[in-house]
Chains A and B, each alone.
Chain A
């Protein structure tokens, strides 16, 4: 006998005793038809899912707006790969800034190398105007070795984290400064030690209130990845 009618095989999947005897016999001996019955049985078992949840009403317009705004020929893989990591990590523009600053740091080193003794202009001497509202000693992570200090300073309308680090080692890469939330779940980059071991970073005051009080200095290789490298060389909790 030629293969059974798929509809009759679907009937067998629903009820093995249902259907003409010759079809049942055939389905028992023909691997192809038996396979189709098994496939139908599998589909039947996939039924039962709860109702689908539509996305929020506004999303449709967002999709269409994004499509209309960005409807230029784009390499396919790029937006897909870039979007989530950019959202979760440091914004791309900041990565650009980081790259530019890394370049500046390189220039600075070059100047030191040629014997210039000028103090870098970008870093005002710490400890001038303003009120220190919190401070901490920085230490190495694997020992109590001192690594300088950090303070949170409030002036009239700005709030800055001042870092005066020391003995950060000579591992290649830029030194990036982070605030880690005491909840252990969130962290944010506040900038780079662009030149030397000192830096001053304006931050929104809210950050401290939200628990971003752990100052962390990392070594960041020039690998294009804007997230924390995992290599911390100094840390202290502002109190």
Chain B
């Protein structure tokens, strides 16, 4: 049964988590994700599950660490400053190989910044975020439906690879309302059992130790090589992206989330002026669709990265393009949202420019 409703993005994340069997939600207030914590405070208790408004973001992520260790599905959510506080815990979770889902409804930074939508946590999201050699899988939805769908998927992927999985959204996507199909959660059926490693289970014969400390000679390096092998498998299998109108494109935009929505309007507007704009929308920010971008870079002369940050994803696109074409940047920050006309103007400037010139607009 699939019901169609009108729902806020933040609430869609919460409902998807409930449907996916999240047993424990731990959160701390921060704008612009408060609707999610509020939603869970009611829904989790209605379902007889665990909701705690913790004393801090640090406590919330460590409660997730504990709940994941006893083998139940668990999540937390926050926004930039709170996600920064959670990084210690996320690093421990990655080191201990536990499945935890968390949502970052991004706002403007650095520091306390502002509460306006942003994509400025891209570096933090895609580079692990905390200390040590680790990765997290990052899904970047671009509408309310995707926030629902990728929340559900995140729980499965976290369980599959036993690692932290993040939903990177922003203040616009979190707070806007859109029609949403509330489809039921389907267990993929092939997820690994938690019975052999979960704590406190009388059925396990030998004592289990869950830890991220490995002090023995070479022990941590061996463990990190094992993690790296897992990350390589993920980079091979879990890359997701959407591509639109890439054939015969005069220029290709690379943009995710809210920026990708703007890019779709740009495509229509530019076409009216006879310019064919293609779009590559990364859905996973890590693993990044670098192979596809490299292929595109070999076919077109120009790529334009559009982001609500000042060149953070641009670095990854340039790395992927590896000099095969010019990679330009349209960046806004701290609540600034890219404007269609400004992007179309920049595209015209790019297409009339020559040589190796890189056009940056911010």
- Our verdict on whether A and B bind, yes or no, reads no
Q: Which residues of A contact B (CB under 8 A)?
A: none
